[in-house]
Amino acid sequence: MGRFADLLLSKQTGFAGDGGAGLSRAIADAAGLLPYEKSLIAGPGGLIMLARTGVDKSLLAVGARDKPSLWSRDFSGRILNAEVDGDAVSIRICPLTHDNAIALRRNFDLLAPRCFGVKAAAGLGDRLGLATPGHVRAVWGMGVAPFLAQQSIREMTRTHRSSRQVMDDACWGVLQEGWGAGFGSDADHLKNTTDIDDCVAAGFTMFTIDPGDHVDNSADTLTGAELAAMCDELNWDALETTGGDLKREYLSGDIKVGSLKLDVDEDVLARAAVKYGAAVAHTAAMFRHLAGAMGKRPFELEMSVDETETPTSTFEHYFVARELQRLGVKWVSLAPRFVGEFEKGIDYKGDHGRFSQCFREHVEVMREFGPYKISIHSGSDKFSIYPAMAELADGLVHLKTAGTSYLEALRVTAEIAPDLFREILAFAFERYETDKASYHVSGDPSKVARPDKLKDGDLPGVLDGDDGRQLLHVTFGSVVTAREGGGYVFRERLLMALRAHEDDYYAALEKHLRRHIEPFAQA
């Protein structure tokens, strides 16, 4: 009896771990492929694993030749009969298609996303579809829930990727690395029910509602009379209350939140209602639609108002949370607009002492109505404030990153394919003024050396300065979708270079993302 039969007789379900390395090599060798040794996973009556030849990857579904597993028939691919360590086996060699990814998630719970509640989490967006193995290595041993399928609708549109591609790429990466601790999926910055339905169909488990279009930033500067008029014009039916009821609710006595006492008068209340009332109503409508679409499937919801012009005050956070609760919305995390500047791809800009004080007050509100997690959007590379956030929130944090993984891909490209990087950098100069319009950045491209002025060894250094990082960060969509003569200008060459040097890319991601995650690590 060989190792294949031994593993089946053990009735083990899950990744084989280091003990399966020898068997995975034997199976891959029988198929004429190279194994991903961590990927071997046992199921009822058979095994699955990933293997490759060159940069092309295949799923191998393996069963006993005389008694093939029922689930192996769910996968499509060619059949190879072989002998592995004396066992007669049938190996189905399958391409990494969407249908095979669905079969993978249907048959192996470990490879389908799940909900994590208020466990400390890190969202790890992947704009190229290649980063998940590096992300897994970054979170290994950190005690933080990884959200490995995370993408905003804006990012999907700009990269020509679909919600199901985002999900599938994450699942293949989880299998490749043998990650058995579970992972989350975040359909980020959803603005309408069409986007919700698309991401529900793709299998997402967390949904971040972005009601930013319904936030009225003018409320911060309106005069008393203007403010009162705007308050009267609110859609009170959508809020399922009245102005009078709101006053009785909030102005009948002191409002205490933990150690805080919030000073609230009619103007403060009206300002919060005008600024966030429509956003609350929209979030409630989206939540109800989502609950109907998900049916009995478990899901989590986040509300995000981070991409608005003005900071969310402590009372405004209190107002939003209290009104969401009154309307029956259940949420796992909330992203305020913090004080200071959370620009893309660089460290925090602002008064660190003031940030810490305001963040502490947001945590007080969070504990009053939850606890739920404080979500930190545009969280990439904010190294100077991670320690304060980790300490003050005591693990009740969901840190979101995305663009920084793309920048690490470009850093590796600068090292392994300098000519390609030069072309991308030159193109970024052309696109920056247009592409920065929908992002919060202050990078000045005039402070970045032109590619023809840089030696090969100096190219990675472009990613070390704030101006170079933002120049390359916000132009990602234009770079990966630029077309000429019926084909992509950069996309396929960029992906091919990274696939050919995947371990270099994974190592760069592991090193860079661990710096993000370590301050939030849980024992």
Q: Which two tokens stand for residue 215?
A: 């936030």
Residue 331 located in a structural domain: yes
Number of C-alpha atoms within 13 angstroms, CB side, residue 402?
28
Same domain for 167 and 254?
A: yes
Last residue of a domain, one of 109, 137, 165: 109
Q: Which two tokens stand for residue 8?
A: 């089946």
CATH assignment at residue 399: 3.20.20.70
Give the residue among 92, 68, 69, 60 at the shortest CA–CA distance from 79.
92
pLDDT of 11 > 60? The answer is no
User: Which of 60-74, 86-100, 401-415, 429-443 shows the lowest mean pLDDT across its residues?
Assistant: 60-74
pLDDT of 1 > 60? The answer is no
Peptide bond into 371 cis (omega under 30): yes
**pLDDT for the residue numbered 18:** 78
Tokens 């992509």, residue? Answer: 488
Query: What is the β-pairing status of strands 34-35 and 46-53?
Result: antiparallel
Same domain for 245 and 369?
A: yes
pLDDT of 166 > 70? The answer is yes
How far apart are alpha carbons 26 and 75 in whole angstroms? 21
User: Which of 56-70, 234-248, 443-457 shows the lowest mean pLDDT across its residues?
Assistant: 56-70
Q: Which two tokens stand for residue 169?
A: 């790429």
Residue 436 located in a structural domain: no
- What is the number of other CB atoms lying within 10 angstroms of the CB of residue 85? 16
Same domain for 115 and 43?
A: no
pLDDT tens, residue by residue, 303-339:
999 988 899 999 999 999 999 999 999 999 999 999 9
What confidence category does residue 12 fall into, taking pLDDT thresholds of 50, 70 and 90? low
User: Which of 79-88, 268-277, 346-355, 380-389 shows the lowest mean pLDDT across its residues?
Assistant: 79-88
Same domain for 148 and 16?
A: no
pLDDT tens, residue by residue, 461-518:
999 999 999 999 999 999 999 999 989 999 999 999 999 999 999 999 999 999 999 9
Residue 472 located in a structural domain: no
**pLDDT for the residue numbered 16:** 85
* Proportion of the chain above pLDDT 70, given as a percent: 97
Domain count within the chain: 2
Last residue of a domain, one of 79, 109, 139: 109
Cβ(409)–Cβ(500) under 8 Å? no
Three-class secondary structure of residue 185 per DSSP: strand
What integer is the mean pLDDT of 119-125? Answer: 98
Give the residue among 275, 263, 270 at the shortest CA–CA distance from 315.
263
Give the residue among 22, 27, 29 at the shortest CA–CA distance from 48.
27
Residue 484 located in a structural domain: no
**pLDDT for the residue numbered 5:** 64
Residue 494 located in a structural domain: no
Same domain for 202 and 338?
A: yes
Residue 375 located in a structural domain: yes
Cβ(175)–Cβ(60) under 8 Å? no
pLDDT of 9 > 60? The answer is no
pLDDT of 44 > 80? The answer is no
Residue 123 located in a structural domain: yes
Same domain for 184 and 80?
A: no
What integer is the mean pLDDT of 150-156? Answer: 96
What does 134-165 look like in DSSP terms, one character per residue? HHHHHHTTS--EEEEEEEEHHHHHHHT--HHH
Last residue of a domain, one of 55, 83, 109: 109
**pLDDT for the residue numbered 7:** 64
Q: What is the mean pLDDT of the chain?
A: 95
Tokens 């509602």, residue? Answer: 209
Same domain for 206 and 114?
A: yes
Residue 64 located in a structural domain: yes
pLDDT of 146 > 90? The answer is yes
Domain span at 128 = 110-404
Long-range contacts of 151-154 (CB under 8 A, 24+ apart): 151/125, 151/126, 151/127, 151/186, 151/187, 151/188, 151/402, 152/125, 152/188, 152/189, 152/208, 152/402, 153/187, 153/188, 153/189, 153/190, 153/191, 153/195, 154/189, 154/438
**pLDDT for the residue numbered 78:** 95
Same domain for 92 and 234?
A: no
Same domain for 38 and 174?
A: no
Same domain for 60 and 36?
A: yes
What integer is the mean pLDDT of 107-119? Answer: 96
What integer is the mean pLDDT of 61-83? Answer: 86
**pLDDT for the residue numbered 503:** 98
How far apart are alpha carbons 66 and 69 in whole angstroms? 10
Task: Report the catalytic residues.
Answer: 188, 302
Same domain for 287 and 373?
A: yes
Three-class secondary structure of residue 522 per DSSP: coil
- What is the number of other CB atoms lying within 10 angstroms of the CB of residue 294? 15
The alpha carbon torsion through 140, 371, 209, 522 (nearest 10 deg) reads: -10
R_g of the chain computed on alpha carbons: 25
pLDDT, greater one: 424 or 440: 424
Same domain for 63 and 115?
A: no
